Amino acid sequence: MRVVCTPLNNPFASLGKGFMWTYNMGVIDRLKAIGPGALIAAAFIGPGTVTTASVIGAEYAYLLVWTIAFSILATIVLQEMSARLGLISKEGLGEAFRNEFSNPLARGITVALVVSAIGVGTAAFQTGNIVGGAAGLSTITGISENIWGPVIGLIAAGLLWTGNYKLIERVFIGLVVVMGLAFLINAAVVRPDIGALGGGLVPTVPEGSAYLIAGLIGTTVVGYNLFLHASTVQERWDGASDLAECRTDTVAMIIVGGLITTSIVVTAASVFPEGTQIADVGAMADQLEPVFGGYALTFFAIGLFAAGFTSAMSAPLAGAYATAGALGWERDLTSTRFRAIWMTILGTGIVFSGLDYNPVQVIVFAQVANGLLLPILAVFLIYAMNNDDLLGEHTNTTLQNVLGGIVTLVVVGIGLRTLYDVLIL
């Protein structure tokens, strides 16, 4: 099938430049073209998304659906910048940040920020990833999460040790399909109230919800995914000539991730009475009963495991790309120093996953922490995206800077509101 498309003459043409291009391929070829965008979607559809979206749907029904819409727009805006930077400059985001400043002090502060915020931060998030996946397996087998946690960590380590990017990418895509189908089918079966769902697109902040709003944004617009994307696009594509395909992959896969998140909120809102407090995996699994009946707990547990396992691989990989780039080390999946970084991050998660933590509390807290960190990374990214020497004609347009600025301001506002609720109240 041959399709010919041309850019639309509208203010968004610069942002979407290349989304449509002349191509001659079948459905199978198009599926094969899916790349790093699926990796990013798999990374943010982790235990944090499943848990936070379930809690939001159960407590506030559709009132916070607008948070998903904002999160997906924000993710598209920032991830497109990150992917474009990596593809055009042939640098990782850590390298770009490091090279933005010639002053030794400014460079040192930047490197310290990246290493501490991403390297150390991903190690903290890793605990929630592994614990979430372990909670899924524990539900099925009855074996303690403290045992399954280290097992999941070791399996993830084995896959990362291969250094085979294509293998890792396929694992991510497969696990996202497992999660997505269960929730999308269930959301269709429960027949949500479309009017109420549409009403949820109007921004409101119910009392006590700021913490969860920050958590959902933090689980979707993930700071370390910016580093992961800038590096993985270089594994898949060659340069500016592939920018259109890269953008399409990014936008399409992030939207798919957003639909999965929405379906989780929808199922929870449809099954639980508004105001329900979810405290464990068993309670979350009830939302799948309309489709899976007595097998709901098993299917939900499989989905939660898939979510945890994908994130258990993406966090160490992103932390390694970020830290290696910031320190000026080689970003090679098989290099000793690169492996040492992700092994440290993964090892931290394995150790803490063996301790007795409540999975729901650990996961939600990790996402909120990420949401508070994101504005700093967004400011650095927008700054780098306006460097003519780095990107030439592919620097940000005015529209892209405005959208990036709005995203940053909203995230800052939500972060400050969350701090107020947690520290003052």
Amino acid (1-letter code) at residue 413: G
Q: What is the pLDDT of the chain when averaged over all its residues?
A: 78
Higher pLDDT, 358 or 103: 103
Higher pLDDT, 6 or 54: 54
Contact partners, residue 162, CB within 8 Å, separation at least 6: 168
Assess contact for 94 and 325: CB atoms under 8 A: yes
Rounded-to-integer distance, Cα 76 and Cα 327, Å: 27
pLDDT at 331 over 90: no
CATH assignment at residue 232: 1.20.1740.10
29 domain-assigned: no
What pLDDT digit, counting tens, does each position of 278-308 carry? 766 666 666 666 666 777 777 777 777 887 8
1 domain-assigned: no
What pLDDT digit, counting tens, does each position of 247-266 carry? 989 998 899 889 989 988 88
pLDDT at 78 over 90: yes
25 domain-assigned: no
Number of domains in the chain: 1
Structural domain of 334: 36-387+394-424
pLDDT score recorded for residue 220: 84
pLDDT at 16 over 60: no
pLDDT at 424 over 80: no
Closest to 284 (Cα-Cα) out of 43, 47, 62: 47
pLDDT at 72 over 90: yes
Rounded-to-integer distance, Cα 134 and Cα 301, Å: 9
What pLDDT digit, counting tens, does each position of 87-137 carry? 998 888 888 877 777 778 877 877 777 776 676 667 667 777 888 888 888
Higher pLDDT, 193 or 358: 193
Local confidence band at 396 (pLDDT 50, 70, 90 cut-offs): very high
Higher pLDDT, 294 or 410: 410
Closest to 181 (Cα-Cα) out of 108, 288, 268: 288
Q: In which residue are the tokens 């990833």 written?
A: 129
Local confidence band at 20 (pLDDT 50, 70, 90 cut-offs): very low
pLDDT score recorded for residue 279: 63
pLDDT at 203 over 70: yes
User: Distances in Å between the alpha carbon of 342 and those of 113, 165, 245, 316?
Assistant: 18, 15, 29, 5
pLDDT score recorded for residue 21: 41
20 domain-assigned: no
Q: Which stretch, 15-19, 129-133, 341-345, has highest mean pLDDT?
A: 341-345
pLDDT at 26 over 60: no
What pLDDT digit, counting tens, does each position of 365-393 carry? 555 556 566 777 888 889 889 988 888 89
Assess contact for 269 and 62: CB atoms under 8 A: yes
Higher pLDDT, 340 or 116: 340
323 domain-assigned: yes
Strand intervals (E) in 149-304: none
121 domain-assigned: yes
9 domain-assigned: no
| % of the chain beyond a pLDDT of 70 | 79
Would strands 23-24 and 2-3 be described as parallel, antiparallel, or unpaired?
A: antiparallel
User: Distances in Å between the alpha carbon of 188 and those of 63, 104, 157, 299?
Assistant: 19, 56, 36, 16
pLDDT score recorded for residue 408: 86
pLDDT score recorded for residue 74: 92
31 domain-assigned: no
